[in-house]
Amino acid sequence: MSQLSINQLKQFKNDITRFMMMYKFALDEMETRIEILVQEFEMLHEYNPIEHTKSRLKSPESILNKLYRKGSDISFSGIRDNIKDIAGLRITCSFISDIYLISQMLKNQSDLKVTEEKDYIKNPKPNGYQSLHLLIDVPVHMSDRRESVCIEVQIRTIAMDFWASLEHKIYYKYNEDNQVVPERLLAELKQAAFAASVLDQQMERLHKEIEVIKEEQSEISEEKLNRIIINNQQFALPQALLELLDKAKE
């Protein structure tokens, strides 16, 4: 191998590493933002709308295979323009209302740009699949420039996620053996998706009823109101500030 070709190989390796790093950093950035939202809700509202998150990066091989299937230009710009799910973040919630709450909180962040939204909850796929999909451009600050990196965010309930996981396993198993999924299984999967949707709606109603009851029965002591807790540390509100608040009421 000539010196020139070795240098070219090194440069290509650096370019693809840098390219993939951008998507990893975009995921890191989004996970940090989600963690901040979780902590804010737990401290201010004593409630966490997010059960858990999961992120993934497509491999370079998977990216190229998808690019070939699309018949797109084999270049970094071709990849960025045609493949929008290189980086994926899945957010799992307890309730349907949490899905739209989280979606709105992300949209409220001025430096994030939602370029596409597909609501498979209000409009499920024919097979019964439900989830809210967002394509979001995330700012990533590299050592020499700022990049806007697209990641796919899927927000769904636990029931939706359980159904989607099972459906994926079934299709993967049959595709692995080069077999077609039997119609009977497809029909049962669709019925299961409907059952999961009914369960989500029932849990949503119970959640709202419990919140009303909690609101009616809540009693906060004066001592608790005069303290704030951040990261397991308690801080008493300054007496001077409390006196100012009392004067403001007069």
Give catalytic residues, as residue numbers.
152
Are 188 and 126 a contacting pair, CB within 8 Å? Answer: no
> Taking the CB of residue 101, how many other CB atoms lie within 10 A of it?
17
Closest alpha carbon to 161 in 116, 122, 117, 196: 196
CA distance 137 to 114: 6
Picking from 167, 153, 51, the residue whose alpha carbon sits closest to that of residue 107 is: 153
Long-range contacts of 106-112 (CB under 8 A, 24+ apart): 106/33, 106/134, 106/136, 106/153, 109/33, 111/139, 112/136, 112/137, 112/138, 112/139
CA distance 52 to 49: 9
Count of CB atoms situated within 10 Å of the CB of 132: 22
DSSP 131-174: -EEEEEEEEEE-SS-EEEEEEEEEEEEHHHHHHHHHHHHHHHHH
- The Cβ of residue 136 has, within 10 Å, a number of other Cβ atoms equal to 22
